[in-house]
Every structure is written in C-alpha cells, then in structure tokens.
C-alpha cells in the first residue's frame, strides 16, 4: 500500500511572506463600526470590504463608509489575486437597488462606491443592474455623489453604455496589473479591452471622472508601470490608485515583493508628472479607500485645471 506523507499532501503552494512594519491596518474601537455592520446586515447586503478581506475595513466602517458589492458575492471568473469566491452566481435580487439606496440614506453617505462581481452569465454583464442601483440611489439621496467600480463587460458589446447613461460621478475600472502578467493574474480579462472601456467612457461623457487602479508586487518592473501610466493617460483617465498586492492565501498568486513607502511616493510623483488629476499611492491604497475625500480633491483639481487652461 502506498503511504501518503502528510507533509507532502499539505505542502504549501505559494507560502506567504511576512508583512513589513509599514503594512499595518488601523485598529479602532469605534461604535460607528458596529453601526455600519448592523445596517449592512439589516439589508442583507454584500460589501467588497468583507468579501475581499480588505485591510482597511475597520478604519472605513468606523467612518460609516462601506463599498457595496452588487449582484451577489460569487464571481464568474477566477482571478489569481482575488479573494472573492468563484462559482455559479444566484439570480439577481430585484430589490437590491432599493436596499442599497436605503442603506446609503441610513449611513448618511455623501459619496458612495458601488462595485460588483463579474457576471459573465448575464447577457449584459450586469450593466442594467448597475443602472437600476445608481438611479435608485439618486432618487432617495439627491445630494450623494456616486462612484462605480465596474467589471470590463468583456464580450458584452455596448452594454457598458447603460452604466454611463445613469451618469455616475466617477467611473472606475481597475487595470490591476501590467499586460505581461494578465494571462497568469487575470486569465479571464484582456488588458486592451479594459483600456478601451475607460477610453470609451471619457469619449461618451467628458463630465464623468474616470479612474483606474494598479497593484504592485506581482513581479512587474518599473518600465512596465510607467508604460501603464502612459496607456491610462492616453485613455484620458483622471485618477490613478496604486497599492500593494497582499497575497490572500497560499492558493493565490505568489507575492513577488513588498514595495516600501519611498517607492510608492516615487510612483506618485511620476504619475502626477504624466498629467493625472489625482494620484493615490501607498501600501494600503485601495480603489475605494478615502473615496469621498478623493472625490472632493478631484473636483477641486478639475476647477484648477480649467482655470489654468482659460488663462493660458
């Protein structure tokens, strides 16, 4: 009989690297954290904060900020970096737009971020559901600005236009990593399709801020990062976020290395020199981290840019 050695059966696939001192989540004992949690639970909503194990959840929820994850918590893709579960999603909840609108009102959000899993099983990739959520939020929260973080709507034709039609204030789609790593890190996505989506949003509605995010530490090199910045600027993307990839488990894509705070600062300076209206670059930067404060800065920087152009 063949003997199975436990140390071989349970062998780690991609061992986790110890986190450096500069990567530490902020802890708080704020009562507002539990208020946020209770409201999310009351309406039986999903948040990317929970499903993706975001390191900033304690800080954000203590400010009553939550990023809502619509169309369920099960993704139809299996990106190697992501901690969201993969499988066959459930049917859409027709009451979800109303539930989210009510939660936004209860949390008294001045700026809200709506994201979703990939829904390749749907004919429109979920674009119409985004539309319903946005319009319902606007109906009951007229002063709240809305930011969407969407999938790429790959092979869904012009369905993304339905999201633009709802006129979110910010349209975010994360490029995530450099093209050379896409087949390993984002096998179900295509770099130039993501880039084209961002480009088309700006073509259709110049008033919508466009935004994209990049993870570092996956094995990319500096030249590739600089090329990404140029590519995003060629698509007229306004806002770039750069954060450290944190490997969720031994089954996920292996972390190549941790960037230090000085390297993040250098990337921020380089990105700003490319012409982005706003750049957020730090180890714990995530797409929706400080999104409300960043939106205010975006508006301010656009006014400054417009004034400078009129003078010149």
The dihedral sign for the CA sequence 172, 145, 125, 252:
positive
Q: Can you give the CATH number for the domain in which 254 is found?
A: 3.20.20.70
Decide if 78 contacts 187 (C-beta within 8 A): yes
Q: What is the tally of structural domains in the chain?
A: 1
Q: Which of 19-23, 199-203, 305-309 has the highest mean pLDDT?
A: 199-203
Please write the tens of the pLDDT for every residue from 48-81. Answer: 777 566 766 777 767 777 789 999 999 999 999 9
Whether residue 91 lies inside any domain: the answer is yes
Query: Is pLDDT at 165 greater than 90 in this prediction?
Result: yes
Query: Is pLDDT at 87 greater than 60 in this prediction?
Result: yes
Please write the tens of the pLDDT for every residue from 204-239. Answer: 999 999 999 999 999 999 999 999 999 999 999 999
Whole-angstrom CA distances from 89 to 85, 113, 118, 122, 258 are 10, 22, 10, 10, 34
Residue 65's nearest CA partner among 294, 302, 264 is 294
pLDDT band, residue 311 (cuts 50/70/90): confident
Percent of the chain with pLDDT strictly greater than 70: 91
The reported pTM is 0.92
Whether residue 270 lies inside any domain: the answer is yes
pLDDT band, residue 255 (cuts 50/70/90): very high
Q: Which domain holds residue 141?
A: 26-311
Query: Is pLDDT at 117 greater than 90 in this prediction?
Result: yes
Two structure tokens written together for 10? 């349970």
What is the average pLDDT across 147-151? 97
Percent of the chain with pLDDT strictly greater than 90: 72
Whether residue 9 lies inside any domain: the answer is no
Whether residue 15 lies inside any domain: the answer is no
Question: Buried b vs exposed e over 109-131: b needs ≥16 C-beta within 10 Å?
Answer: bebbbbbbbbbbebebbbbbbbb
Whether residue 229 lies inside any domain: the answer is yes
pLDDT band, residue 5 (cuts 50/70/90): very low
Query: Is pLDDT at 8 greater than 60 in this prediction?
Result: no
Q: What is the pLDDT of residue 1?
A: 39
pLDDT band, residue 2 (cuts 50/70/90): very low
Whether residue 6 lies inside any domain: the answer is no
């Amino acid at each position: 009989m063949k003997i199975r050695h436990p140390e071989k059966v349970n062998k780690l696939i991609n061992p986790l690297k110890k986190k450096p001192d500069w990567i530490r989540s902020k802890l708080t004992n704020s009562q507002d954290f539990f208020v946020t949690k209770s409201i999310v639970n009351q309406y039986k909503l999903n948040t990317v904060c929970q499903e993706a194990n975001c390191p900033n959840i304690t800080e954000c929820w203590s400010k009553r900020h939550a990023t809502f994850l619509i169309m369920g918590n099960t993704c139809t893709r299996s990106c190697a970096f992501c901690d969201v579960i993969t499988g066959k999603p459930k049917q859409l909840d027709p009451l979800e737009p109303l539930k989210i609108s009510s939660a936004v009102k209860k949390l008294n959000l001045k700026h809200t971020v709506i994201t979703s899993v990939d829904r390749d099983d749907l004919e429109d990739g979920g674009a119409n559901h985004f539309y319903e959520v946005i319009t319902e939020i606007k109906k009951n929260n007229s002063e709240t600005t809305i930011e969407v973080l969407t999938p790429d709507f790959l092979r869904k034709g012009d369905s993304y236009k339905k999201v633009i039609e709802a006129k979110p204030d910010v349209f975010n789609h994360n490029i995530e990593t450099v093209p050379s790593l896409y087949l390993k890190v984002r096998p179900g996505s295509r770099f130039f399709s993501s880039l084209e989506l961002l480009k088309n949003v700006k073509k259709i509605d110049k008033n919508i801020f466009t935004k994209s995010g990049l993870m570092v530490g996956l094995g990319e090199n500096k030249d590739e990062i600089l090329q990404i910045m140029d590519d995003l600027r060629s698509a007229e993307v306004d806002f770039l976020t750069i954060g450290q990839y944190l490997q969720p488990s031994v089954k996920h894509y292996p972390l190549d290395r941790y960037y230090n705070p000085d390297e993040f600062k250098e990337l921020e300076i380089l990105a700003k020199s490319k012409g982005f209206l706003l750049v957020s670059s730090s180890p714990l930067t995530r797409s929706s981290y400080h999104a409300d404060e960043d939106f205010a800065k975006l508006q301010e920087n656009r006014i400054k840019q417009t004034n400078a152009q009129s003078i010149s």
